[in-house]
Chain A
Amino acid sequence: MVIKTEGLTFNFGQQTVVKNLSLQVPEGSIYGFLGPNGAGKTTTIKLLLNLLKTQEGNIEIFGLQFNAHRKQILAQIGSLIEQPAIYAHLTGKENLLNRAILLQIPETRVDEMLNLVHLTAAAHKKAGKYSLGMKQRLGIALALLSDPKLLILDEPTNGLDPNGIIEIRELLIRLVSEHKKTVFISSHLLAEVERMATHVGIINNGELLFQGSIKDLEAISQPAIYIETDDTADAANLLKKQGYNIIDVDVNHLSVAYQSKNKAGEINTLLNQSGHVVYSIHKVQKDLEKLFLDITQTPA
């Protein structure tokens, strides 16, 4: 395990922000750390980076503990916590060069990183004038500069446009598949995590609700087919008789458990042939709240 925590608990005053957290992040994985805002994700990340002192429990990174191996552990981690920490009065390149001075990294690596995150053209522009997406990319370049074995990224796609999100996702997948890195990435978007993660941990109110491989999660977070018709009750009865699993019905729509693309097509044909007017039909992911309900109701 690259990251292993046992019974990790952290309190801010009277409030317990992280409760008895036991994470297990395997080597070579993209571990999606999923939870809504305020669930304790950033606090956990700060504990993993030794920015917050561990109050209870134990953290091992690369099998080592912070109290005896702080520098050794941090030398192998690249991190991006909350919004990227960037010196606004320096250019993008100067921000990277400053980090390169501290970590004794050659300038050629700085140029490589600028190229990797597509900031070469804006390298000499003041970082304070970067868009949020550019800042985020610079933050990722800073995290990758030392070629770390483990990347810890706190909501790195925040503020990025769809292209930016795809770029970051592909970059992370490439880092794991081609460069054998391990990525620990936090997010509040289930769909985002599902698209890239190999392993998932779900946290809410400081407690780990679920931990496992992406396949284990898929078993719980079954997507649905969202259908809008002229008579939802009648359509629901028809589909139920045909053996489909109806999840939800109201006046405007009904939801059916998603099985496959073909089955979705069959449902559409069936409704049309039975005289129903189908206004819309599409696949939807479960939102986090529903997923939490399912997880808490189903023992993981």
Chain B
Amino acid sequence: MKDLLLSLQSEFYKSRKTLGFWSAILLPVLICLLVFWHFYTDSVKMSGFPAMLLWLRYAGSILNVMGTLLLPMLVIFICYSVNSIEHKADTWKTLFSLPISKWAVYSAKFIYALLLIAICLSLFYALTMASANLLGNLKPEFRFADYDMKGALLQIYFKLFLSALGILSIQFLLSLLWSDFLKPMGVGFVATLSGLILVGFDWKYDYLIPYAHPSLTVRSIMPRRGMMAIPELKVEIFTDYVYVSLIVCIAVFIAGFYIVQKKSVK
């Protein structure tokens, strides 16, 4: 456990000046600012919306961009970034010749990538709440205060996080095995696009494809016809695709460790 904590500390120390780390922080800030600006300058169109629907519109504009393409791409990029730091510096041989278990080195990297995604999504949540409340204060016609979205939005982001774990574990392993950028990025991009298309087709087995899971999560909360009549937003977190995402995550994580354990550092 000590090895794991030290390795995690080292991961933060060496990556704190890299784009991989900062992308997890800058992305939510940038997107939330853009959406805030859009609502602020174009308030007339949406001012008459009921509070819950207004929240869904506001949070949905962020979630829609995130869930469909940005979150999978961010996961792909962070996984690449966490591993490429060692590929570029040729430091795998050094890491594996230190008196630290390979399990700790591998797990710390995985947990660090996972933490970056968690930080990114937490920031999205916090900034969505903060910017919506600020917007409600600046423009009273936005009645955000009439509906309490805190709990539901937290659940949505938590579900989005869980639905990204399958992609995380696959991309983490690909980036660990391949030192170049194009291979894991290319595979991830094509798989994400395929996932999107299959979700668009409503393919009945789309829940089995990890790259489709964030998109399925976003689709499940997007405003639909008749939603005006629903008094409260209910988020079902543990759906079939979230279970699939978790199973893939655990299975690939364990398989990845055995691959790393067997892999010789050439």
Q: List residues of A whose CB falls within 8 A of some B CB.
A: 46, 49-53, 70-72, 74-75, 77, 79, 81-83, 85-90, 94, 97-99, 101-104, 142
Contact: B265 with A46, CB < 8 Å?
yes
* A20 smallest CB distance to B (angstroms): 20
> What is the chain A residue whose CB lies nearest that of B91?
A85
- State in angstroms the CA–CA spacing of A83 and B93 once bound together: 11
Query: Which residues of B, 87-113, contact A by the 8 Å Cβ criterion?
Result: 88-91, 93-94, 96-101
Nearest chain A CB to B109's CB is how many angstroms away? 13
* Residues of A close to B266: CB separation below 8 A: 46, 52
Q: Which of B9-17, B161-169, B200-208 contacts A (4 or more CB under 8 A)?
A: B9-17
Q: Across the A-B interface, how many residue pairs have beta carbons closer than 8 Å?
A: 74
B7 close to A (CB within 8 Å) = yes
Is B6 close to A, CB under 8 A?
yes
Looking at the complex, which one of A52, A77, A86 makes contact with B89 (CB distance below 8 Å)?
A: A86
Residue of B with least CB distance to A89? B17
| A79-B96 Cα distance, complex, nearest whole Å | 11
What residues of A have a CB within 8 angstroms of the CB of B90 in the complex?
A: 82-83, 85
A51 & B6 in contact (Cβ 8 Å cutoff) = no
CA distance A75 to B20 in the complex (A): 31
Partner of B96, one of A51, A86, A99, A104: A51
Complex CA gap A52/B92 in Å reads: 12
Q: Is B41 an interface residue (CB 8 A)?
A: no
Query: Does B56 lie at the interface of the complex (its beta carbon under 8 Å from any beta carbon of A)?
Result: no
Minimum distance in angstroms from A220 CB to a CB of chain B: 33
Asked if B93 and A102 make an inter-chain contact with CB atoms under 8 angstroms apart, the answer reads no
Contact B13 A46 (CB under 8 A): no
Chain B proximity of A182: nearest CB distance (Å):
16
With A85-B93, A97-B13 in contact, do A71 and B264 touch (Cβ < 8 Å)? no
Residue B18 is within 8 A (CB to CB) of chain A in the complex: yes
Shortest B82–chain A CB gap in Å is: 13
- Measured between C-beta atoms, what is the minimum distance from B9 to chain A in Å? 5
Known: A71-B99, A71-B101. A101 touches B6 (CB 8 A): yes
Question: Which chain B residue has the least Cβ–Cβ distance from A104?
Answer: B6
B13 with A98: CB separation less than 8 A: yes
Q: Bound complex: CA of A99 vs CA of B100, how far in Å?
A: 11
Inter-chain contact A98/B14, CB cutoff 8 Å: yes
B73 interfacial by beta-carbon distance below 8 Å: no
**Which of A83, A87, A103 meets B98, CB within 8 Å?**
A103
Known: A49-B93, A53-B264, A75-B99. 6 other contacts (CB 8 A): A51-B96, A52-B265, A74-B99, A86-B89, A101-B6, A102-B6
